[in-house]
A and B are shown apart, each in its own frame.
Chain A
Amino acid sequence: MPLAISREFYIVGAFEGPHIHYFPTHLQPIIAERTPLGFRRWSYAIKNPYEICPCIPVGLPRPLVGLFPVRSFLLFDTPIPLNTRSQLVALGPNEFIISSSRLSIILWLTRSVLARFRDSQYRKRAWTTIWNSIS
């Protein structure tokens, strides 16, 4: 995408709030470009094999806190630089893994299962999420 070359992209949040408990699960990241005037949200496409491709900027640059006034979206305190293969996995309402390494995601998910070993539903969803992360 020529429009997106040489720009500084970050994952600034997630498109889905934790209204229903179905963790661990992948969530859709909110992608924004850092500009001298603030953060500017971009719409993006996800390709298969997995790759995030920013497409077009949406709206004007704003301070991060004003980027998404809708409460159902999550904004992270610290934006994370975007790697086009970054995956966002929520382990709970306030616990996230953002990584482009599938091995790292699997290890974090396995660790989270061990910490919740009595929760059979969590265990089941964790295996599904591990499968999703490598699919």
Chain B
Amino acid sequence: MAIFSPDFLHMNSESIIFGSPIDTGGIAFGFFEIDDDPEAIIEECKCDGQKFMALLSALSVSVGPEAIQNLYRHHLSNEVLDVLKVFFSSAVIDLICRNRANPHSLLFEFSLDASYALAEDHIHKLFVPNTLDPRRIFPQLHLAAPHKIVSFNPKYGIEHAVSH
């Protein structure tokens, strides 16, 4: 798992195939209790790159730091909800609100085509289990910026490492 700089998306916005505020894979695989056709609601959740970037910009401008931290933990706040309402249909908003306790309901995702470019500057941190040798898997990053590679005990999981 890696934490990227916002520049990564700004530089590659043309490569975004779709973005979504909900884990669309989770909808497809039955992590949500929904009455409608899953494929139909997935299409409602998806937006193009331009709209997805506009959503991120609106969140960065309109939402306070506490609400952003909650968003990282998949907790919905009213500030975030107000922004989402501008961009998505009532069916999507309803799905998010009915599944507040489900972390998949507020899990922003995006898909890129092969034209994206990744530079060392785009990576803030890369989390690697301490049983995996980063010199073998990420030799370039290890040479250029070893301080960006954070080793963690996999027994406690990645979320433990990220939150510390």
Residues of A within 8 A of B (CB): 20, 22-28, 41, 43, 45-46, 48, 50, 56, 58-60, 62, 66, 68-70, 87, 121, 125, 128-129, 132-133, 135
Contacts and interface: CB of A to CB of B under 8 A. Distances in A.
Contacts, number: 66
Give the secondary structure class of B's interface.
loop
B143 interface: no
A128 B131 contact: yes
30 contacts: A22-B129, A22-B131, A22-B132, A24-B131, A25-B129, A25-B154, A26-B129, A26-B131, A26-B153, A26-B155, A46-B155, A46-B157, A46-B159, A48-B156, A50-B155, A56-B102, A58-B26, A58-B31, A59-B30, A59-B32, A68-B29, A70-B29, A125-B131, A128-B131, A129-B131, A132-B131, A132-B153, A132-B154, A132-B155, A135-B155
Contacts of B132: 20, 22, 25
Nearest to B132: A22
A60 to B, nearest CB: 6
Interface residues on B, range: 20 to 34
A12 to B, nearest CB: 15
